[in-house]
Amino acid sequence: MADQNNIQDGLESLIKSYIAKIDMLEKELKEKNRMLKDAFESDAVYKEHADKAKEANRIKSATKEQILKQPSLAKLGERIKDLRFDVNEQQAVLADYLSQYQQQTGANQIEVGDGEVMDIITVVKLSKRPKNYK
């Protein structure tokens, strides 16, 4: 039991160390991105081109909205939204089933149609808790 606690403490220490390293790298990345952005924004030629691009995008968006007002395209756009929602919903259900399958069988692969073998990949992430969470 003592060995298990030592292993767990060591693992927890490694996790905390990597979290600190990642936080430090993210801060540096944010600072460097800000510096690069400031350099672009202070360049007159870049600013002029960015303004022209922004105007072109505004015109493009207005044109797109106008085209999407056509009834047949509006209906098509709605169908696309519905299909995306359905795909996401089906993928979430599949993920649950794959998790159950992996837990029950211990397998990390599954054979699907036509003998194709696919890997089951588990993604684990760390997220911060809200400050008011108890």
Sequence-separated (6 or more) residues with CB below 8 Å from residue 73: 67
Residue holding tokens 């790298």?
Answer: 25
Query: Nearest-CA neighbor of 128 among 22, 7, 34, 13?
Result: 22
Token couple for 53: 């691009």
Residue matched to tokens 């911060």: 128
pLDDT in tens, 19-74: 899 999 999 999 999 999 999 999 999 999 999 999 999 999 999 999 999 999 99
Residue 8 DSSP code: H
What pTM, to 2 d.p., does this model score? 0.60
> 3-state class of 119 per DSSP?
strand
* Cα–Cα dist 131/57, whole Å: 39
* pLDDT tens by residue, 84-130: 999 999 999 999 999 999 999 999 999 988 889 999 999 888 888 88
